[in-house]
Structure 1
């Protein structure tokens, strides 16, 4: 699959559970195209669906591995991939260290994992396949009490967890503060975990994000409104060479994860 076709499918699937994305784009850019800085994915650190299993589809398209990050409290490992073409979005993939969870959480995730067909992640379409397993609301709640990440992935499966607006490419906004002000003036709730803006000029990256919208999810025993996906905004600064910094800031990314957490309001 070609890069443009893959991102088009990811975007359409993302819009299904993130209806705010299109109106936000129009709010930020009435004319022209909103440039995507990066897309993020989540997975479990289990055979055949590890970070590297998802990344394989991107390395086949010319992407190359860059930095690795550790989020000890959230029990996550992450890496980002960069394409030689600067116009192509970066890809940020994280995985949950399942073996560091409680026995009850491991049991639930193990039951989900057993429902996957052999070689599930070998085809590119798995990246936008949604939830590939049956899940009860009770099991979702059990996972949520221990790991919001584990619960989100159990409920939503494989999809872009978020897209990211490149603030650098916006013609009408010079700062991330300006973007945030317009979003809040128009009633959008932003993630306040770690502050409204995560990172700084000295970090060479500033980030903010909406709080995930609540959508109705069908569990095997009931329907419930739960946080889905969110929209991120990134402003990058030049590094020592004069080129825009392309990496991520571990402390900031840790707080961006909280955008799908219903408790990330302050």
Structure 2
């Protein structure tokens, strides 16, 4: 019989997946494609984006996972994109997804960007931001302006994405290590391309190396309709990632993240031509 912690974390990720897959049809189609090949899809990690404002920072989003038994395992800096991140794991549960939460360093951006974010957060009741279930809430501020979105995107695609989508899974990640029939990450990528999915090619289709103990790839985010004050516009939403991990010289499978590779994976929510 499963313990309470095990049941709790599965409930959290099932709920996150349902909302993510409903909005991002490609992710659901990829999962179904893998399953049609006889695979069992296991999540390597689920990622979230936020701002470093204390009302919604990494620590705020991490609460629900910590309460389910997760512990902090790594911290990362993304100097080019002006981000910090942490990842969390559930001890003793090998196939439990890691949680990766990043935050935008607001103080490193223009006063205009800082004021836009502050205004959005100020418009939300503090109780809503204090809710432990914030990761399920989506965008807690309304309405949003397409003009503001575009202005934010000029400085930071990341800032603009959070402004529109708020708090939800930015991406799920298939663990290539658990795929028994498809093979390695290159075979995964080829299967995806053969079935019409567009890969993130920034820095190459495969980010990372066996020597670094982690290889990653991703499809580009779906372009979906979003209602703004000015009307409906089609913009990038969420994406699906793929991770293959390797053992170190001590026979331990690498469990962390590589900032240089993740930096390129972030670009899966950039605009692109279909």
Residues 64 and 133 in structure 2, CA contact (< 8 A), matched pair in contact too = no
Q: Are the structure 2 counterparts of residues 38 and 75 from structure 1 closer, same or farther at C-alpha, using a change threshold of 3 Å?
A: same
Q: Distance in 2 between matches of 1:129 and 1:240?
A: 42
> In the alignment, which of 130, 140, 144 is matched to residue 132 of structure 1?
140
Q: Distance in 2 between matches of 1:115 and 1:5?
A: 30
Question: Which residue does 1:211 correspond to in 2?
Answer: 220
Greater CA deviation, 122-131 or 230-239?
122-131
Structure 1: 5+ residue stretches without partners = none
Q: Are the structure 2 counterparts of residues 93 and 28 from structure 1 closer, same or farther at C-alpha, using a change threshold of 3 Å?
A: same
Q: Distance in 1 between matches of 2:61 and 2:159?
A: 17
When normalised by structure 2's length, the TM-score is: 0.93
> In the alignment, which of 46, 56, 66 is matched to residue 59 of structure 1?
66
Residues 29 and 172 in structure 1, CA contact (< 8 A), matched pair in contact too = no
> In the alignment, which of 38, 44, 58 is matched to residue 45 of structure 2?
38
| SS of match in other structure, 2:25 | coil
Matches within 5 A, 1:181-200: 181-200=190-209
Question: Which residue does 1:23 correspond to in 2?
Answer: 29
Q: Distance in 2 between matches of 1:172 and 1:32?
A: 7
> In the alignment, which of 86, 98, 108 is matched to residue 94 of structure 2?
86
Residues 45 and 97 in structure 2, CA contact (< 8 A), matched pair in contact too = yes
Residues 14 and 160 in structure 1, CA contact (< 8 A), matched pair in contact too = yes
Q: Distance in 1 between matches of 2:145 and 2:28?
A: 31
Aligned CA RMSD, in angstroms, stands at 1.5
How big is the shift at 1:33? 2.6
Residues 48 and 119 in structure 1, CA contact (< 8 A), matched pair in contact too = no
Question: Which residue does 1:100 correspond to in 2?
Answer: 108
| SS of match in other structure, 1:29 | helix
Question: Which residue does 2:83 correspond to in 1?
Answer: 76
- What do residues 54-88 of structure 1 show as CA deviations (whole Å, max 9, x unaligned)? 11221111111111111111110001001111121
Matches within 5 A, 1:164-243: 164-243=173-252
| SS of match in other structure, 1:182 | helix
Stretches of 4+ aligned residues off by more than 6 angstroms: none
Residues 38 and 90 in structure 1, CA contact (< 8 A), matched pair in contact too = yes
Residues 146 and 230 in structure 2, CA contact (< 8 A), matched pair in contact too = yes
Q: Distance in 1 between matches of 2:248 and 2:65?
A: 26
How big is the shift at 1:263? 5.0
How big is the shift at 1:36? 0.4
Residues 44 and 173 in structure 2, CA contact (< 8 A), matched pair in contact too = yes
Q: Distance in 2 between matches of 1:35 and 1:12?
A: 15
| SS of match in other structure, 2:133 | helix
When normalised by structure 1's length, the TM-score is: 0.96
Q: Are the structure 2 counterparts of residues 237 and 264 from structure 1 closer, same or farther at C-alpha, using a change threshold of 3 Å?
A: farther
Residues 45 and 173 in structure 2, CA contact (< 8 A), matched pair in contact too = yes
| SS of match in other structure, 1:232 | strand
